[in-house]
Amino acid sequence: MQEKQVLKSAQNSGASSRPTRLRHVLDFQVLYLLHANPSSLYELRKRMLDVFKVSSSYGTLHPHLAQFEKKKLVKSSWVHSNQMKSRNSNKRVYEITREGFRALKTSLSDLTNLSQWVERSKKKY
């Protein structure tokens, strides 16, 4: 019975009265990295490779970030050259919002519950 609840929780796409649930591993990874440090798209892509050993294209990451902004899970701002050390004149920096942090925590809880269920299931075999 409890296993069904865990699976249902992990599959739940979230209703308006519930916290947003992340449906993809990439969603979790992006919010996790933005929680650690606000980042530009370039920095985020580089950190995805460094931390998770995942090579994501800009064409994959950018739509995720755009959806996150629509859902108010992240916000972005332009950082200009006088605030940066690089040669580029400006870049867009993304950071997690409170709602994004809640979604991250909810998904982490779902993943923990799912992991525990998998470990209990392995003992049957």
pLDDT tens, position by position, 26-65: 888 999 999 999 999 999 999 999 999 989 899 999 999 9
Report the pLDDT value the prediction gives residue 14, as an integer from 0 to 100: 39
Residue that wins the pLDDT comparison between 120 and 75: 75
Rounded Cα–Cα distance for residues 77 and 53 (Å):
27
* Whether pTM exceeds 0.85: no
Other beta carbons within 10 angstroms of residue 41's beta carbon come to: 16
Alpha carbons within 13 angstroms on the beta-carbon side of residue 121 total: 11
Average pLDDT, the chain: 81
Other beta carbons within 10 angstroms of residue 64's beta carbon come to: 19
| 8-state DSSP, 81 | G
Average pLDDT on 65-80 reads: 94
Domain limits of the chain?
Answer: 22-122
Report the pLDDT value the prediction gives residue 115, as an integer from 0 to 100: 85
Contact between residue 76 and residue 94 where contact means Cβ atoms under 8 Å apart: yes
Name, in order, each residue with C-beta under 8 angstroms of 57's C-beta and a sequence gap of 6 or more: 45
So what CATH class is 22-122?
mainly alpha
**Percent of the chain's residues with pLDDT above 90:** 47
- SS3 of residue 20 by DSSP: coil
Residue 81 pLDDT level (bands cut at 50, 70, 90): low
**Percent of the chain's residues with pLDDT above 70:** 74
Which has the closest alpha carbon to 79: 97, 69, 93, 65? 93
